[in-house]
Structure 1
Amino acid sequence: MVGTFLCYLYLLSHYRVRVAGFVAVTVLCLLLQCGFPSRIEANMLSKKQVLIVILALLAYYWIKYVKQGPVYTTDKRLDGKTVLITGGNAGVGKATAIEFAKLGARVVIASRNVQKSQKAKYDIIEEAGNKNVFAMQLDLENFNSIKSFVKQFDKEQEHLHYLINNAGVMGIDGITDYGYHRVFGINHFGTFLLTNLLMKTIKETSKRSPARIVNVSAGLYKLGALDFDYIRSETNGYFSDLKMYGQSKLANIMFTIKLSKLLKGFDVTTYSMHPGAIKSEIGTSFQQSSILNFAYKIISPIFFREGFYGAQTIMYCSLDDNVTKHSGGYFSNCKQEDLTEIAMNDGASQKLWDISVEVTQKYLNENW
């Protein structure tokens, strides 16, 4: 029975099985386990057969809703549209780039590692069959790099219809030269500055065609209210690192809500989203520990999704027609989710905005 169940798990994890396929595979497993009957007998299933069916149902649910999640489909074409994806050379970012490129968009992936981005660019072109894919260097920890990137982007790209702020880090140490933890600096201040510097282009684009901004957040934002002292301190271990990451993801949500309010009057909508637990490179710093590396290798195949599934809610927020009435909202599994009170704190949100302006003031343009 164990062998049959493992066979079933393998089939489900390697193919996107729909309900009909699920039923067929379940029946096949039953026949393999219990034998092909010469005639149909009108008796009750044995306990063994019932157990197999229950395990099959549990396996289907686990694969479908934990390991995979919903898949967003659209018949839209994005020819002539420009998409910018930060952290687009791996994981969710790369998967998102492939999805946009398949729809005909002009895709720019921006990452710190140029060599890796060039390789990712050709991978995306090959898989999507779209040659309009470009790789640019962007280091969100370096404000000069962000400013130079935007200057180059505006020179090479006429429009920006979709800004996907996907790049992020966790588990790294250190304090920035402006006094905040590096994780918070990269994940929030870098994203804040980039988005603000691109705002003139986004607004100009929205005069002719709607524009959307999607900020990749995480469910870990729920770990605690924004602590303005904590984000200026060093972390001291795994759980401290997780909290710092959660603080930066909470900031991404607050930033999204604030943007939606500031952009009223423009055809620009904003969304934050949780991609799910994804197999990616974001936690590689944690894996330097032999114990954590061992735990990751055991847990990730069971719990973590492939980048393709993490990209689905990004595509939903970017393309769905009904989502525009929920600008500023938070999404997961291709549907809106209610935010906890800590994310709806207007006082903390305004303080975060003021601090962000203060930190990046030297580099900001008058785009508002």
Structure 2
Amino acid sequence: MHSIRNFFCGRWSCDVRLDGQTVIITGANTGIGKETARDLAKRGARIIMACRDMEKAEGARKEITEDCGNENIVVHKLDLSDTKSIREFAELVNKEEKQVNILINNAGIMMCPYSKTKDGFEMQFGVNHLGTGVSVFSLHPGVVQSELWRHLNSRVQVAVKVFRPFTKSSVEGAQTSIYCAVEPGLEKESGGYYSDCAPARCSRTASDDDLAHKLWELSCKMLAITWE
């Protein structure tokens, strides 16, 4: 049996290995991102921890390496509030990595005081939406070359953490990201919304294709990028 869902302990288990696969996880030095990195490292994956705070990231890398016995874990600088940092990160990955199999966009902020990114965008919108968009766009050459098969955006985890405070630990909160990354039955799924390791309904606004298209066009215009 490949997977077991256990709601009583808040964990989802699966025996699938990820040996030979490369995983990028943003915001992997703490919380959900760190626990996701730990789980996938135990499965044998090469982990690229993309973090803003390099000191904390190196500490997390050392802890996970010692815990999992996986030496194939690296740390790279990534600041989603700075498009220059994002493009430098993507250039490094595209240059050094032979393949990227899984991209987990875990990093994000919520309900922060009003401020702006280095590019002049409102911080929350700039990091969570535009920053993530630039990272995917900038990795595009490598994605095409390596046939990236899973791209996960963990905003569902952020929502769970905000609207259900103190009900989940970081380990429990990471389960849906882990599930979407490794569950064999999801290999060909795309565009789904998941919560508690299961498909979930998103809002009517989030399901509006016309609105999504307009947002996409506006975002590309704001970032001066063209996706071909």
Q: Normalized against structure 1, the TM-score is what?
A: 0.56
CA distance in structure 2 between the aligned counterparts of 1:177 and 1:118, rounded to whole angstroms:
24
CA distance in structure 2 between the aligned counterparts of 1:178 and 1:315, rounded to whole angstroms:
32
CA distance in structure 2 between the aligned counterparts of 1:97 and 1:275, rounded to whole angstroms:
20
Deviations for 1:60-106, whole angstroms, at most 9, x for unmatched residues? x9xx3xxx53x222222211100000000000000000001000000
Given that 1:216 and 1:275 are in contact with CA atoms closer than 8 Å, whether structure 2 keeps it comes out as no
1:276 aligns with 2:197: no
State the superposition RMSD in angstroms: 2.2
Q: Which residue of 2 aligns with 1:319?
A: 182
Could you list the runs of 5+ residues in structure 1 that have no partner in the other structure? 1-18, 20-60, 219-272, 279-298
SS for the counterpart of 2:12 is coil
Specify the code of the residue in structure 2 equivalent to 1:327: S
1:211 aligns with 2:149: yes
From 145, 148, 167, give the equivalent of 2:85.
145
| Structure 1 residues 135 and 178, CA gap change in structure 2 (3 angstroms) | closer
Q: Which residue of 2 aligns with 1:328?
A: 191
Given that 1:275 and 1:314 are in contact with CA atoms closer than 8 Å, whether structure 2 keeps it comes out as no
| Structure 1 residues 99 and 162, CA gap change in structure 2 (3 angstroms) | same
Deviations for 1:181-235, whole angstroms, at most 9, x for unmatched residues? 21110111000000111122122222xxx610000113xxxxxxxxxxxxxxxxx
Deviations for 1:1-24, whole angstroms, at most 9, x for unmatched residues? xxxxxxxxxxxxxxxxxx9xxxxx
CA distance in structure 2 between the aligned counterparts of 1:82 and 1:325, rounded to whole angstroms:
18
Cα distance, 1:323 vs. partner? Answer: 2.2
SS for the counterpart of 2:205 is helix
Given that 1:275 and 1:333 are in contact with CA atoms closer than 8 Å, whether structure 2 keeps it comes out as no
From 200, 213, 223, give the equivalent of 2:141.
200
Specify the code of the residue in structure 2 equivalent to 1:192: G
Cα distance, 1:176 vs. partner? Answer: 4.1
Q: Which residue of 1 aligns with 2:26?
A: 86
Specify the code of the residue in structure 1 equivalent to 2:114: D
Q: Which residue of 1 aligns with 2:40?
A: 100
Specify the code of the residue in structure 2 equivalent to 1:102: K
Specify the code of the residue in structure 1 equivalent to 2:140: M
Given that 1:137 and 1:149 are in contact with CA atoms closer than 8 Å, whether structure 2 keeps it comes out as yes
Cα distance, 1:131 vs. partner? Answer: 0.5
Given that 1:174 and 1:181 are in contact with CA atoms closer than 8 Å, whether structure 2 keeps it comes out as yes
1:121 aligns with 2:121: no
| RCO comparison, higher one (Cα < 8 Å, 6+) | 2
Q: Which residue of 2 aligns with 1:183?
A: 124
Q: Which residue of 2 aligns with 1:262?
A: none
Could you list the runs of 5+ residues in structure 2 that have no partner in the other structure? 1-5
| Structure 1 residues 217 and 174, CA gap change in structure 2 (3 angstroms) | same
CA distance in structure 2 between the aligned counterparts of 1:100 and 1:335, rounded to whole angstroms:
19
Aligned residues: 221
Deviations for 1:244-267, whole angstroms, at most 9, x for unmatched residues? xxxxxxxxxxxxxxxxxxxxxxxx
More strand by share: 2
Deviations for 1:261-287, whole angstroms, at most 9, x for unmatched residues? xxxxxxxxxxxx667328xxxxxxxxx
Specify the code of the residue in structure 2 equivalent to 1:343: A
| Structure 1 residues 156 and 275, CA gap change in structure 2 (3 angstroms) | farther
SS for the counterpart of 2:25 is strand
CA distance in structure 1 between the aligned counterparts of 2:58 and 2:96, rounded to whole angstroms:
17
> Superposition pairs for residues 197-276 of structure 1, below 5 Å?
197-206=138-147, 211-218=149-156, 276=160
Given that 2:23 and 2:104 are in contact with CA atoms closer than 8 Å, whether structure 1 keeps it comes out as yes
Q: Normalized against structure 2, the TM-score is what?
A: 0.89
CA distance in structure 1 between the aligned counterparts of 2:87 and 2:119, rounded to whole angstroms:
17
Specify the code of the residue in structure 1 equivalent to 2:123: R
More helix by share: 1
Given that 2:176 and 2:194 are in contact with CA atoms closer than 8 Å, whether structure 1 keeps it comes out as yes
Cα distance, 1:118 vs. partner? Answer: 0.6
Deviations for 1:312-367, whole angstroms, at most 9, x for unmatched residues? 11111111122245410100011001222111112210111011111222xx4x66
Bigger radius of gyration, 1 or 2?
1
| Structure 1 residues 189 and 136, CA gap change in structure 2 (3 angstroms) | same
SS for the counterpart of 1:318 is helix
Q: Which residue of 1 aligns with 2:102?
A: 162
